[in-house]
Amino acid sequence: MRLKRAILLLPLLMLAAPALRAEYIVLRSGLRMHVTGYQLVGDKYVLQMTGGRVEIAAADVVAIEPEDVFTPLPPAPAQAGPLPFYRDLVEAAAKKYNMDADLISSVIAQESNFDPKAVSRRNAHGLMQLLPETATKLGVKNIDDPAENIDAGTHYLHDLLQKYNNDLALALAAYNAGPDKVQLYGNVPPYRETISYVRRVKKGYEKNKSNTSAKTPAPPRAAAANSQTRPAKPSQ
């Protein structure tokens, strides 16, 4: 009877409560459910989702994770890599720090979805989601300026790759969770967010490289024989 009353009162409680930002409900099965609100009622969670509500057993919930808030831009059709407006900035930074432009664009895609005004719950700013203290160390004057943000983010990622002997997974983990966490665990930290971040960036990077290779015509044999060897990519 108490459970039924609580469920009947739930819509009123949700209307009275302040709006919640999006969260992820993580289940024992590994499934992550994107919700806009939730309420524990007895031994069940009532989840508010786009399109309605869902009830699940509280015992099946292993974590509730906040979502970094930014407004994603609509994806450009049939385009891999950076938006045209930022392509020159990405390629300039890649050349300056001897980095792969496809890797930089893959990081930007996961960090901000190419939104230069993105600000996370941890106060990371811009396309490459720089923390103010990191930006200051890298000499950034305007953290929200796309050119400065991309340049500094690429510089930082380059330094991390150097620090971890071109181990891409460790460099990405440090970019996401911080070098201190990588040092603490001696590997990719066992955080769902960081593990998922590393996996998604690497997957995007592989896709970008595949698309780039498909668009680039093979050089003539004579030109290929005389071409210089390109710098080694970071280990994946």
- Find where tokens 């290779």 sit: 213
Catalytic residue among 91, 111, 193, 206: 111
Question: 7, 41 in Cβ contact below 8 A?
Answer: yes
Task: For residues 87-103, give the mean pLDDT.
Answer: 95
Q: Encoding tokens for residue 210?
A: 């595949």
- Tell me the C-alpha distance between 101 and 224, whole Å: 21
% the chain with pLDDT above 90: 47
Output DSSP code: residue 98.
Answer: T
The residue type at 2: R
Q: Encoding tokens for residue 120?
A: 């996370």
pLDDT tens digits, one per residue of 36-81: 777 888 888 887 776 677 788 888 887 777 655 444 444 444 344 4
- Tell me the C-alpha distance between 88 and 82, whole Å: 9
Q: What is the mean pLDDT of the chain?
A: 77
What are the structural domains, with CATH classification, of the chain?
A: 2-66 (2.30.30), 84-217 (1.10.530.10)
pLDDT tens digits, one per residue of 137-182: 999 999 999 999 999 999 999 999 999 999 999 999 999 999 999 9
Question: 32, 46 in Cβ contact below 8 A?
Answer: no
Give pLDDT, residue 7: 41
* pLDDT of 198 strictly over 80: yes
**Phi, psi (degrees; rounded to nearest 5) at 49:** -130, 165
Whether residue 111 lies in the annotated active site: yes
Question: 32, 26 in Cβ contact below 8 A?
Answer: yes
User: At 215, is the pLDDT very low, low, confident or very high (cuts 50, 70, 90)?
Assistant: low
